[in-house]
Every structure is written in structure tokens, then in C-alpha cells.
Amino acid sequence: MLTRRLTTVMLAVVLAGCQAAAPVPPAPSPRRWIPAPGATWQWQLTGRLDPAVPAEVYDVDGFTTTAADVETLHRTGRRVICYISVGSAERFRPDAARWPESVLGKPTGWAGERWVDVRDRTGIGPILAARMDMCRDKGFDGVEPDVMDGYAHDTGFPLTPADQLAFNRWVAALAHERGLSVGLKNDLEQIPALLDVFEFAVDEECVAHDECPALRPFVASGKAVFHAEYDHAPSTFCAATRALGLSSIRKDRALGPWRQTC
């Protein structure tokens, strides 16, 4: 009887020791920010930043916006998105010399900007990773990676829809690895295949191109669509885009501080 009792006690001690030594499961990763449909926004890529615009979300240039600017916006309760181009090389950026000549294609139509070969991860990967690092290090909440639809243009490279899809998913992964939310810029045709890896969308002129309904999957998934028109007055589109759940504004093409809201 005594032997059985001692054996039981010893077994309990061993089990307690095993439990104490068991590894502690890792804490869950923080949930990425997902802006809700209807969130108000400001899109300013040029000029001196105006932090007084009554908008919940600011989408601003990643290079020219400072960490102090981001902190100023955060102190007033704003979320801040980092605009960078991922599908084009801009000769006016401080990292312009890093693009290998082999990845540079035809002009995009914007001064000083050329398409890049999005298939060449070796050539473009370090540049885009560094841009994402910049957004993270400045304290941004998310990133707007622009020029995500090269396959639909004459880039100088034989890009296919599959090439673009793989690239866009890879760009989303680069953002997520740094704790950043990421928005799909245009590329409406591939929304069904990309919705699962993008936390919001940014769209230019879906009214002008008669394609706003294609953005419904984002809204239906509880994700904001930040939409801008250039040539249409808000009175001509706000009722329709509000019904779709879009966050719509009117901007001029310089994308300075001026805006009109719905």
C-alpha cells in the first residue's frame, strides 16, 4: 500500500514537471487593420501635407511623407496609407538608380516613369522590399501599391494575367510580412482571385469607366473601397457610389490637398 502511494506521488511530481516544461504557445499575430466600407478618406500625393482635412484615413506619398507627419496624423486618430509604385520605375525617386536596365520597359505615359518587368523577382524584389520597409519604419498602417495592372497595357514585356496575379499576391505578402495592410489598386478584372489577400481597394475613375459594380466583392467582405473621380462632379456620381458602399471623393489630377466629398 505504501509502495503504491509513493509511486503515485512520484508520478504526479513527474507529470507536474512535464507540464511546467511544456512550451508556451506563441501569442497570436496582431490582426491587420481592415478599413470598413464607408470610411472617409483623403488622397494627397503632392504639395505640403494638410493634416486638418476631416477624413478618417489619409493616403499619402511614402517617400515625401515623414515619420513625424504620420505620427501627427495618428495623434488625431487617423489611419495612414503609404503610397508607392510597385509596377513602374520613377526616375524622380531617390532609389531610381537601383532599377536594373533589364527590368525597365516602355514609358507608362507619365513623365519620368517606365513599366517594369514584374516577372523578375530577382531584379525588382530588393527595391520593392526596401520600399515596404520604408513604409513600415515610418509607422504607416497600410500601403497602396500602385501600377498593379501592367498585363493590360503595352509594357514592352509579354505579361500575362497569370503573371500579374502572381505578382500582386507577392506584393501583398511583402506588405503582410511587415505588418502592413495592403490595398488593391485598380486591376478590377482579378478581384475575385485577389480579394482574400487585400484588406481594401483603391480605385480611380470607376464611374468614368463604368466599372464600379466590379468593386462590390470588397464591400460585401467588409472592406473599404477608396474611390476617386477627376472629371465628374460629386452630384453626378455620389448617390450611385454611396449605394454601392464606396468611399468616394473628387480630386484634381495633381492629387494635392484639394478634394470634394460626397
Q: Mean per-residue pLDDT for 101-120? A: 97
As a whole number of angstroms, the distance between CA 131 and CA 137 comes to 10
Report in angstroms the alpha-carbon separations of 117 from 199, 226, 253: 25, 27, 26
Contact 182, 143 (CB under 8 A): yes
Q: Are 96 and 112 a contacting pair, CB within 8 Å? A: no
The answer to which of 24-28, 114-118, 207-211 has the lowest mean pLDDT is 24-28
Tally Cβ neighbours within 10 Å of residue 96: 12
pLDDT at 2: 34
Q: Are 173 and 121 in contact (CB under 8 A)?
A: no
The pTM for the full model equals 0.88
What are the backbone dihedrals phi and psi of residue 122, each rounded to the nearest 5 degrees, phi first?
-65, -40
Instruction: State CA 157 to chain mean position distance.
Output: 25
pLDDT, residue 18, reads 38
C-beta separation of 251 from 228 below 8 A: yes
- Write the pLDDT tens digit of every residue in 18-66: 344 444 444 444 589 999 999 999 999 999 999 999 999 999 999 999 9
pLDDT tens string 139-182: 999 999 999 999 999 999 999 999 999 999 999 999 999 999 99
What band does 250 get if pLDDT is binned at 50, 70 and 90? very high
Q: For residue 88, which of 105, 65, 102 has the smallest C-alpha distance?
A: 105
